[in-house]
Amino acid sequence: MRFGVCAGLDKAAAAAEAGWDFLEVGVGTFVPAEPDSEYAPVSDQIAGLPLPVEAANCFIPGEHRLTGPDVDLDAVLAYVDVAMARMSAAGLKVVVLGSGGARNLRDDWPLEEGLEQLATFLSGAAPLASNAGMTIAVEPLRRAESNIINRVSEAADLCKRVGHSAVRPLADFFHMTEDGEPPSEAGKYASQLAHVHVADTGRVPPGEGQADFAGFFRALAEGGYSGRVSVECGWEDLGGQQALALQTLRAAWPAD
């Protein structure tokens, strides 16, 4: 299993030294709203990193609404087109659609209409992802952060509605634990998952809480998951905490 860490480009050297397999960054790193001249220095920086950037999160910024009356689909897909091209050229394989600020429903907006709007967006973004050799991972977020797509099954249902191989669900162990969703739910959809996020209880680094990583990973492995696992947590001291985090995850993944 390939284990990565969600961190900025400035943390790449420390992450490589600790032994992570890849870095996961925010899509904002690729400045999709800016011209190529603004992105060129970032591209050069990524090319010189000591470990690959294989995934990105925070796909759509809040100013690009995905639900409600103010959706500008052409504008958001133009943003996606630039982001996909830059991420693909940098070697990324998966981009995570959490983006609670962009997708959350207004209090007066019907759930079904919001789901249909998300499906419409993903149907437009899927060919762009496919052409770039990337996959969009639809992330369920805990109810404290989102009022739409909170469970792995709901992410899987949305992906089924879209019906494109470049749009697949994600399982986030932290969000699942926070909302009482058992690891078996991730196991049911393990073969469909495009990506996995983990953090320990309280969103601390693995090994510093009480999360049952062994049970979660067992459900994934038995279900046929063969993708990547990224740690998405709060770090007080990345340099000092990451060794235990990576050791914890590697020890918890079932032996072949």
Cα separation, 161 vs 158, in Å, equals 5
- Whole-number average pLDDT of the chain: 97
CA nearest to 9, candidates 25, 20, 21, 32: 25
Q: Enter the pTM of the model.
A: 0.96
- Fold classified for 2-252: TIM Barrel (3.20.20)
Tens-place pLDDT, residues 57-74: 999 999 999 999 999 999
CA nearest to 12, candidates 64, 56, 57, 51: 51
pLDDT for residue 255:
81
Tens-place pLDDT, residues 68-122: 999 999 999 999 999 999 999 999 999 999 999 999 999 999 999 999 999 999 9
Helix (H) or strand (E) holding 137: strand 135-138
Instruction: Return the percentage of the chain with pLDDT > 70, whole number.
Output: 100
pLDDT for residue 256:
66
Boundaries of every domain in the chain? 2-252
Judge contact between 175 and 141, C-beta under 8 A: yes
Beta-carbon contacts of residue 97 (< 8 Å; ≥ 6 apart): 59, 60, 103, 122, 136, 137, 138, 139
